[in-house]
Structure formats: structure tokens, C-alpha cells
Amino acid sequence: MEGLVKTDVPEGLPLVLASGSPRRAQLLRAAGYTFTIDPASDDAECGVCSRETAPELVARYAYRKAESVLPRYRHADRPAMILAADTVASCNGQILGKPADESHAAEMLALLSGRRHDVYTGVCLWSSPDSRCIVDVVRTELQMQPLDPAMIRDYLATHLWDGKAGGFGYQDGNDWIAVVDGGSESNVVGLPMERLKELLENFSSSAETIDTTGPGSPASR
Ligand SMILES: Cc1cn([C@H]2C[C@H](O)[C@@H](COP(=O)(O)OP(=O)(O)OP(=O)(O)O)O2)c(=O)[nH]c1=O
């Protein structure tokens, strides 16, 4: 997979992956990052707002996931660079998150069959000592080959769809799906590694300071 090259974390901060996704941890490990895992609370993902686009949704969720773990790293003796992400597929105007069950996965695969679709990952980096934050979204366009009922049935039986946006894993080892634009395979699997490197490298000049003490802030909850 491309882009598996690490860079330094600004200020030498310990990197905290605010995600329970095994794929994100694998990608970070493969690139050589040292990090701890501290998943965001489940309520960081709270449904699709009306008229929200897929890129808006993943940006919002990535932000909320990072924000939800921030209070754990607020003390001066526990500084961290928090990394959170959220991935969805988007096909024919529908946003596809993780399937609730096998029949939901089957519906998603039937929709994706033979269609071009996009996978979006939102990434949020938040440095706890100075509460500076950056959010970005990467899109990858994919083409799914036509899937016949037997292919869908056999894939569902593997349970590999479980926990994967769109009910299908790009990394699952069959040739059903190909990247047609946007390049990043790691983005499809849950963390755009080349963009992560750029975000870390440009963090000092690009991140915004977030007021975490005002009304509605993590500290006030
Ligand atoms: C499209 C696609 C997604 N995925 C995965 C990446 C993500 O783990 C998952 C999308 O769900 P997310 O809600 O983005 O992440 P998560 O629930 O796994 O972890 P957390 O919320 O704790 O960060 O789908 C693949 O593994 N392969 C794929 O081809």
C-alpha cells in the first residue's frame, strides 16, 4: 500500500489514535509510527444530518471523535497529539456507513454492484497542550465490478463485511474493486497515510486554535 512513510509528530507529542479500527492501527504501525490507542466514545457518531454531504459528515465525525477523547489529555502531564478519522462510502446519492447486519451488508453490496462510488475519510489532528486542531477530508473514487448473487452470498458468509463502511473491504483480497481516481488505497481502508504525513508536517502553520473552555466545549460538559 502507498504512503506508508512516517514523519515526526509536532513538538514530539505522543501520538494517540482515537479509534478502535484495527485497519487504522495496522496502517500506522506499518508506516512505523509509535502510538497508543484510546478509542472515541460511541456517541461521537450520532447520525446523518439532513442535507449533509458525505465529506461534511466524515469531517464532523472525525472532529467529534477527537474532541471526545480530548478531556483525557487535558492535564499538562499528559500531553498528546490526538488522531481521529471517519470513513464512509457514497453511491448514487446514498451515504453508506458500517452495515448493521448481514442483510444490510447485502443491500449495500447490491447497490455498489457495477457502480462507480466514492470513499471519503475525514481526519482530525488535535494537539491537547495548546488545543490546536486541523480537519481534512480525502476522497477516492472506485469502480465495483458487477456482482452476481453467488458472489455476494459467498462474501457475506466470510463476515469480512462486518465493521467496514459500504459492507465491503477493499483489502479483502478479491479483484472486485479498483481505484479510478484520487489514488489513495490507505484512504479507502480508513486512514489516508500520505495526507496524514502532510497534515503533521504542516500542523504548526495550518492548525486552528479551538476554545475548549466556552459553552458547549468538552470542558463544560
Ligand atoms: C470502505 C472501507 C472501509 N473500511 C473500514 C475502515 C473503518 O474501520 C470502517 C468505517 O468505520 P468508522 O466509523 O470510520 O471507524 P470504526 O468504527 O472502525 O472505528 P472508530 O469509530 O473507533 O474510529 O470501515 C475498510 O476496512 N475497508 C474498506 O474498503
Which of 17-21, 83-87, 181-185 has the weakest average pLDDT? 181-185
* Cα–Cα distance measured from residue 127 to residue 41, given in angstroms and rounded to the nearest whole number: 18
Atom of ligand 1 nearest to the CA of 166: 1
Greater confidence, 218 or 81?
81
- Residue pair 119/188 in contact (Cβ under 8 Å)? The answer is yes
* pLDDT, mean over the chain: 92
Q: Is 121 in the pocket of ligand 1 (CB under 6 A)?
A: no
- The three-state DSSP-derived secondary structure of 22-70 is HHHHHHHHHHCCCEEECCCCHHHCCCCCCCCCHHHHHHHHHHHHHHHHH
In the reported structure, the alpha carbon of residue 40 is separated from the centroid of ligand 1 by a whole-number distance in angstroms of 13
Q: Is 20 in the pocket of ligand 1 (CB under 6 A)?
A: yes
Strand, helix or coil at 114? coil
Yes or no: domain 10-220 corresponds to CATH 3.30.70.20: no
Domain ranges of the chain: 10-220
Confidence of residue 183 (pLDDT cuts 50, 70, 90): confident
Mutate to test the pocket of ligand 1, among 1, 19, 21 (most ligand atoms within 8 A of CB): 21
CA atoms within 13 A on the CB side of 105: 23
Q: What is the pLDDT of residue 205?
A: 96
Q: What is the pLDDT of residue 220?
A: 47
Atom of ligand 1 nearest to the CA of 190: 6
Greater confidence, 144 or 183?
144
Query: Which residue lies with its CA nearest to atom 16 of ligand 1?
Result: 21
This prediction's pTM: 0.94
In the reported structure, the alpha carbon of residue 94 is separated from the centroid of ligand 1 by a whole-number distance in angstroms of 17
Confidence of residue 192 (pLDDT cuts 50, 70, 90): very high
Q: Is 119 in the pocket of ligand 1 (CB under 6 A)?
A: yes
Q: What is the pLDDT of residue 181?
A: 82
Percentage of the chain with pLDDT > 70? 94
Catalytic residue among 8, 38, 77, 86: 86
In the reported structure, the alpha carbon of residue 52 is separated from the centroid of ligand 1 by a whole-number distance in angstroms of 19
Assess whether pLDDT exceeds 60 at residue 219.
Answer: no
Query: Which residue lies with its CA nearest to atom 18 of ligand 1?
Result: 21
Confidence of residue 74 (pLDDT cuts 50, 70, 90): confident
CB-based contacts of 207, cutoff 8 Å, min separation 6: 125, 127, 132, 133, 134
Q: What is the pLDDT of residue 1?
A: 78
Confidence of residue 216 (pLDDT cuts 50, 70, 90): low
Query: Which residue lies with its CA nearest to atom 8 of ligand 1?
Result: 21
Q: Is 23 in the pocket of ligand 1 (CB under 6 A)?
A: yes
Confidence of residue 49 (pLDDT cuts 50, 70, 90): low
Over residues 140-166, the mean pLDDT reads 96
- Residue pair 68/98 in contact (Cβ under 8 Å)? The answer is no
Over residues 197-202, the mean pLDDT reads 98
Atom of ligand 1 nearest to the CA of 84: 23
In the annotation, is 86 catalytic?
yes
